[in-house]
Chain A
Amino acid sequence: MAWYLVKRLLQLIPVFLGATLLVYFLVFMTPGDPLDALCGDKGCTPGVAAALTKQYHLDDPFFMQYFHYIGNLLTGDLGVNFSGREVSSVLADAFPATIRLAIIALIFEAIFGITFGLYAGLKKGGWFDSTVLVLSLVVIAVPIFVLGFVMQYFVGVKWGLAKPTVSGAADWSDLILPGIVLGLVSFAQVLRLTRTAVSENASADYVRTATAKGLTRGRVVRVHILRNSMIPVATFLGMDLGALMGGAIVTEGIFNVPGIGNQLYKALTLGDAPMVVSVVSVMVIIFCVANLVVDLLYAWLDPRIRYA
């Protein structure tokens, strides 16, 4: 297990380096002198230009610059954004709201997606199954920003069931509606995945054996069907974190959640490249780590998988 963990962590390194190198290359290796951007219209005096060149390692070759950036990234120094604020402190302020939002979305999609999917899969072909299958496709097809506006309009404004926008504190209760909007598309996908896996496993030999042994239906469903169906779902939930982070940009914009997505959106509209790169790099790290955690979960879900 420990050896497997080390191996996976080592495999993570080239992916992480490659992804950040890609982002770094895309943003920093574009035509135009960064000094022009830093000095504005009037231009710098030679002394200031030399100091800036030294500060940002502008004289170094590309790979040296990149390694400076990675070194800074790993030590938590993400540079400053266009308004001169430390990117790391902006992120520290914005992260809690986004994490709360993502947790609500993940819990929503996991609990409801798996429950509905289990029920549909056990009664494959029934009315519930057919209805849910079509409805889930509809939910998947509606883009998240349309979904967000519609939910905000009806649930928040017309019916007054939830606050249409989020307060500055972004409490758990404020974030329920945006969290559900964020998780809705993935909920439909979790439902479909669970349904397929459950209906496949329900007719497996070991399930028939378990029933023949006289186990209760509840135990057969819980231990023999559901647990065996969880591997594709767990993989999806890990991958889904990437989609959630993309979706958070839209959802946080609509509901005015003071989170990472909102900051990223602001940086985008301002053309604040350092901020965009930093935020995306942090998101890539989270995404990679989440997928590692999912890999480790496999062992718990399916003891046959040994990490040799």
Chain B
Amino acid sequence: MREANMENNDAADRDLDPEARAHEAAMREIADTADTPAGSHQKDLGGLSTGIMMEHFVADVGSTPVTATDSRSAEGAPVSLWRDAWRQLRKKPTFVIAALLIVLVIVVALFPQLFWTENPSAAATQCLLENSNGKASAGHPMGFTAQGCDVYSRVIAGTRASLMVGLFTTIGVVVIGGIIGALAGYFGGWIDGVLARLGDVFFALPLILGALVVMQLPFFKAHRGVWTLVVVLVLFGWPQIARIMRGAVVEVRNADYVVSARSLGVSSLGILMRHIIPNAMAPVIVIATISLGTFIVAESTLSYLGIGLPPGMMSWGNDISDAKDAFRSNPMPVFWPGLALSLTVLSFIMLGDALRDALDPKARKK
């Protein structure tokens, strides 16, 4: 019942005039600080202070404002930012297309055997030089490479490495950059200064250039693979997330619910983990989604330059690198992995773009 109410009210309150909104917000604030325990109401007020989320309960005619706000489900509010975003998102064709493509790419990466016509890892029997640079034929819709390998099967098999690098780099960057940014933003002072300068140092080295240097190290040269590449990309990718996290944390650091939690004796770590970070996550998730695409590009660029994934590993970047010398006589082995790469990256960027619009109602109103 209450859920249904929330839905209706959500639609209704968009038409409220600003004064009524302000009144509602003020009443809610009073009621919340008075009645709810410190831990449970952080998110709705957090939305208020960041301006990200506005949801108001419209009282039934007979009820007083205080009971009206009181009857509002405290758990309902945090869901509603995402539910509101979801309502926006599912109407957007770019989001639907991007999400479907990403699901497809993930399925291909997890179960390539469902898609390929022949397992390209058993290459000894499959790559026949008589097929060298062959045109597309039945069962081989994308033609053959200079080595006579089936391009289609290689494109399917290369999905996993590229996606893994993108995904794990993004996770690493969000964890490390998020922690550093949150610490810098929350504690401020000299910790902020030191961490900001540290970030500047890594920021001054553009991602590709920094990765070029690190991949030259004997250790990284000897252990080339998905995980070394992830480490290198995280090393130069974290400052961006750290800056965004820091900004978001500074914004909510002095919000009323944080002050009230602090005055109730919650420890710094508890405030950080339970109150501040959850409220600062929205911009981080948006940037992380877009970064996932750029990390896949970085992986393929490094592989293309011959210093990314080891030559034996099947990935789109390696395939393009192998095929580039014969490009003018047989462009297809460059074209198809390039297309797969571009579509995957495009999906993540489109997804991030749609998320940004959905999570930022301020931009939507205009």
A residues with a Cβ closer than 8 A to B are 14-16, 18-19, 22-23, 26-27, 30-32, 124, 134, 137-138, 140-146, 149-150, 153, 157, 199-200, 203, 242-243, 245-247, 249-250, 253, 264-265, 268-269, 271, 273, 276-277, 280, 283-284, 287-288
Closest residue of chain B to A273 (Cβ to Cβ) is: B216
Contact B197–A15 (Cβ < 8 Å)? yes
Among A15, A32, A150, A246, point to the contact of B208 (Cβ < 8 A). Answer: A246
Contact B305–A19 (Cβ < 8 Å)? no
* In the complex, B204 has a CB within 8 A of chain A: yes
- Beyond A22-B202, A27-B217, A287-B206, 11 additional contacts (C-beta under 8 Å) are A15-B201, A19-B201, A23-B205, A134-B94, A137-B350, A138-B342, A141-B346, A150-B335, A250-B304, A268-B306, A284-B204
Contact B218–A31 (Cβ < 8 Å)? yes
Looking at the assembled complex, report how far the CB atom of B318 sits from the nearest CB atom of chain A, in whole angstroms.
12
Q: Per-residue 0/1 for B293-335: is the Cβ within 8 Å of any A Cβ (1 yes, 0 no)?
A: 1000100110011110000000000001000100110010011
* In the complex, B91 has a CB within 8 A of chain A: no
Q: A27-B213, A31-B218, A137-B349 are in contact. Are A142 and B201 (CB under 8 A)?
A: no
Q: How far is the CA of A246 from the CA of B210 in the complex (A)?
A: 9
Looking at the assembled complex, report how far the CB atom of B101 sits from the nearest CB atom of chain A, in whole angstroms.
11
B255-301 with Cβ < 8 A to chain A: 293, 297, 300-301
Contact B213–A26 (Cβ < 8 Å)? yes
The 7 A-B pairs at the shortest CB distance, nearest first, are namely: A246-B208, A242-B206, A18-B201, A141-B346, A146-B338, A141-B345, A19-B204
Contact A16–B214 (Cβ < 8 Å)? no
Contact A269–B306 (Cβ < 8 Å)? yes
Contact A30–B217 (Cβ < 8 Å)? yes
Closest residue of chain B to A19 (Cβ to Cβ) is: B204
Residues of B within 8 A of A268 (CB): 212, 216, 305-307
Looking at the assembled complex, report how far the CB atom of B195 sits from the nearest CB atom of chain A, in whole angstroms.
13
* In the complex, B353 has a CB within 8 A of chain A: yes
Residues of A within 8 A of B324 (CB): 145, 149
Contact B217–A26 (Cβ < 8 Å)? yes
Among B201, B207, B306, B345, point to the contact of A143 (Cβ < 8 A). Answer: B345
Q: How far is the CA of A199 from the CA of B357 in the complex (A)?
A: 14
Q: How far is the CA of A246 from the CA of B205 in the complex (A)?
A: 10
Residues of A within 8 A of B218 (CB): 30-32
Looking at the assembled complex, report how far the CB atom of B201 sits from the nearest CB atom of chain A, in whole angstroms.
3
* In the complex, B122 has a CB within 8 A of chain A: no
Most buried by A among B201, B204, B207, B366: B204
Q: How far is the CA of A42 from the CA of B207 in the complex (A)?
A: 39
Closest residue of chain A to B343 (Cβ to Cβ) is: A141
Among B207, B293, B328, point to the contact of A141 (Cβ < 8 A). Answer: B293
Among A22, A142, A249, A253, point to the contact of B342 (Cβ < 8 A). Answer: A142
* In the complex, B58 has a CB within 8 A of chain A: no
Total number of residue pairs linking A and B with CB closer than 8 Å: 130
Q: How far is the CA of A42 from the CA of B198 in the complex (A)?
A: 43
Contact B297–A143 (Cβ < 8 Å)? yes
Q: How far is the CA of A106 from the CA of B216 in the complex (A)?
A: 30
24 A–B contacts from the bound complex (CB under 8 Å)? A15-B200, A18-B200, A23-B213, A124-B366, A141-B343, A142-B338, A143-B297, A143-B300, A143-B301, A143-B338, A145-B300, A145-B304, A153-B327, A153-B328, A153-B331, A200-B366, A243-B208, A246-B206, A247-B208, A250-B301, A273-B216, A280-B209, A283-B209, A287-B206
Among A27, A140, A150, A287, point to the contact of B204 (Cβ < 8 A). Answer: A287
B338-363 with Cβ < 8 A to chain A: 338, 341-343, 345-346, 349-350, 353
Q: How far is the CA of A141 from the CA of B339 in the complex (A)?
A: 10
Q: How far is the CA of A180 from the CA of B297 in the complex (A)?
A: 19
Q: How far is the CA of A202 from the CA of B131 in the complex (A)?
A: 59
B152-173 with Cβ < 8 A to chain A: none
Q: How far is the CA of A26 from the CA of B220 in the complex (A)?
A: 11
Residues of B within 8 A of A23 (CB): 205, 213
Closest residue of chain B to A250 (Cβ to Cβ) is: B301
Q: How far is the CA of A114 from the CA of B135 in the complex (A)?
A: 43
Contact B205–A280 (Cβ < 8 Å)? yes
Looking at the assembled complex, report how far the CB atom of B358 sits from the nearest CB atom of chain A, in whole angstroms.
16
Residues of A within 8 A of B334 (CB): 146, 149
Q: How far is the CA of A263 from the CA of B94 in the complex (A)?
A: 41
Contact A280–B204 (Cβ < 8 Å)? no
Closest residue of chain A to B323 (Cβ to Cβ) is: A149
* In the complex, B190 has a CB within 8 A of chain A: no
Most buried by B among A16, A242, A264: A242
Q: How far is the CA of A42 from the CA of B341 in the complex (A)?
A: 47
Contact B94–A245 (Cβ < 8 Å)? no
Among B200, B206, B320, B366, point to the contact of A145 (Cβ < 8 A). Answer: B320
Residues of B within 8 A of A32 (CB): 218
Closest residue of chain A to B221 (Cβ to Cβ) is: A271
Residues of B within 8 A of A30 (CB): 217-219
Looking at the assembled complex, report how far the CB atom of A129 sits from the nearest CB atom of chain B, in whole angstroms.
13
Q: A32-B218, A137-B346 are in contact. Are A284 and B205 (CB under 8 A)?
A: yes
